[in-house]
Amino acid sequence: MSHLLQSTFIPTTPTTLRRRSVFPTAHLRRTHVVESKIREIFMPALSSTMTEGKIISWMKTEGDKLAKGESVVVVESDKADMDVESFYDGYLASIIVPEGSSAPVGSPIALLAESEDEISLAKSKTPTPTSTSTPAAAEAVTEEVSTVAAAVTVTSSSDTGPVKVVSSIHPASEGGKRVVASPYAKKLAKELGLDLRGVVGSGPNGRIVAKDVEAAAGSAPIGVAAAAKPSGGAPVAPAVELGTTVPFTTMQNAVSRNMVESLAVPTFRVGYTITTNALDALYKKVKSKGVTMTALLAKATALALVKHPVVNSSCRDGKSFTYNSSINIAVAVAIDGGLITPVLQDADKVDLYSLSRKWKELVDKARAKQLQPHEYTTGTFTLSNLGMFGVDRFDAILPPGTGAIMAVGASQPTLVGTKDGQIGMKNQMQVNVTADHRVIYGADLAAFLQTLAQIIEDPKDLTL
């Protein structure tokens, strides 16, 4: 669900104090003063941890008419890009914070006029933007504009307020008309070497979405798509200019704050070795039905947490802890420029196949930076899996506000001793759990891991 833009009313006719008349009021004519309405549009708080937002793209230009509930701007929060809707009817009179710039939550990013006649008045009231963009970020924006041969000039006008950077041709425009695309569509188009000006959007109000880019790339000349891909089969790392200092992105800032906050929590770690032969066999049977290993691990973990609710608890104030009523498994996912933890809600109650479908949906939304806050902030227990990279064991940092996180390593063939004294080969994986020691103790984790191992080594309950 898109978020609504918050705005406040700015009266354009000042209220005056009048002295009480000594004459009879019956002979006085009442004068009705009509005030024009110019509203400030604020940077919304799209999550509980968001302190600032970055303007990805304005879906409307200055002077455009807006209807209540209509998408106006795409804002990058600390974890996702979100369409933000207007809370009022009116006209987008003045954009204070341009695309590519950031602003603190609650600061004005644009002005909304009630009528078309008040647009010029709103422009005259445009405040100086409180953008938090760095010079390095500004240089990056300038460089991006120059790559599409846009003539960039700096102009100052008394009608438009502060000095701003303008271009004769917008990077995603044709004939001066803007082409609005989702952030993921823009990224995909850049990777494919596709010019968005020739793509027809199928999204709301003609917005270009990822499937439009993919369709256009499929019908484009071979040379267009091939130009963006190297001839070799090995992946090519993105070009990085060594010796440069790069500012954190909004997401990296959020990750940094969370990691520093986690240092205040006293944690401890417990490891366990689990045999996965039965789980691997089950995975081979259900893989063709769309079931993922992530869903299997999440389901097994959720069923174990049902029997050990203290491991699913959380302490936020240092004085009490909460036995969470739901088992919501957050799973760490690496995305471009950061890390996010989509949440499989009520994982103990949802069947394995529905859980797998939900997981695919969440991953697609995470990579497109379209997750809603409740889809990544409601986890009660976290999984972090590096097994697909061949990592056999590692420790994970406890996310603030949760009781435990489990690091899962790769399942590998291992020589083990059997009960009858023989030597055999079994697939085994290492898991390490990091927990909040204010709430969870060593015996709690040991019991939880024993239950988890029993479920994984005899996984018949996972498909019920």
pLDDT in tens, 269-311: 999 999 999 999 999 999 999 999 999 999 999 999 999 999 9
Pair of tokens at residue 239: 């070009």
3-state SS record for the chain: CCEECCEEEEECCCCCCCCCCCCCHHHCCCCCCCCCEEEEEECCCCCCCCCEEEEEEECCCCCCEECCCCEEEEEECCCCEEEEECCCCEEEEEECCCCCCEEECCCEEEEEECCHHHHHHHHHCCCCCCCCCCHHHHHHHHHHHHCCCCCEEEECCCCCCCCEEEECCCCCEECCEECCECHHHHHHHHHHCCCHHHCCCCCHHHCECHHHHHHHHHHCCHHHHHCCCCCCCCCCCCCCCCCCCCCCCHHHHHHHHHHHHHCCCCEEEEEEEEECHHHHHHHHHHHHHCCCHHHHHHHHHHHHHHHCHHHHCECCCCCCCECCCCCCEEECEEECCEEECCEECCCCCCCHHHHHHHHHHHHHHHHCCCCCHHHCCCCCEEEEECHHHCCCCCCCCCCCCCCEEEEECCCEEEEEECCCCCEEEEEEEEEEEEEECCCCCHHHHHHHHHHHHHHHHCHHHHHC
Q: What is the mean pLDDT of each run of 10 residues along the chain (464 residues)?
A: 52 44 44 59 76 83 84 78 81 87 85 82 70 42 34 34 35 49 73 79 71 71 39 51 85 84 92 96 94 95 97 91 96 84 95 95 86 90 93 93 95 87 90 96 97 96 88
* Selection from 56, 46, 51, 63 nearest residue 4 by Cα: 46
pLDDT of residue 54: 84
pLDDT of residue 72: 85
Pair of tokens at residue 311: 């491991």
Q: Which residues are catalytically annotated?
A: 437
Q: Which residues contact 74 (CB under 8 A, 6 or more apart)?
A: 55, 56, 57, 58, 59, 81, 82, 83, 84, 182, 183
* Selection from 89, 159, 462 nearest residue 304 by Cα: 462
CB 95 within 8 A of CB 119: no
* Selection from 45, 431, 49 nearest residue 260 by Cα: 49
Residue 275, class by beta-carbon neighbours within 10 Å (0-12 exposed, 13-18 middle, 19+ buried)? middle
- Give dist(CA 66, CA 89) in Å, integer: 5
pLDDT of residue 295: 95
pLDDT of residue 445: 97
Q: How many residues are there in the chain?
A: 464
Q: Which residue has the tokens 């994986």?
A: 429
Pair of tokens at residue 65: 């008419």
If one counts every other C-beta atom within 10 angstroms of the C-beta of residue 278, the result is 14
Would the CA dihedral through 270, 276, 280, 281 be positive or negative?
A: negative
- Give dist(CA 381, CA 361) in Å, integer: 20
pLDDT of residue 8: 54
* Selection from 182, 181, 177 nearest residue 63 by Cα: 177
The whole-model pTM stands at 0.61
- Give dist(CA 255, CA 262) in Å, integer: 11
CB 5 within 8 A of CB 69: no
Pair of tokens at residue 170: 């917008």
* Selection from 332, 348, 313 nearest residue 452 by Cα: 348
pLDDT of residue 412: 93
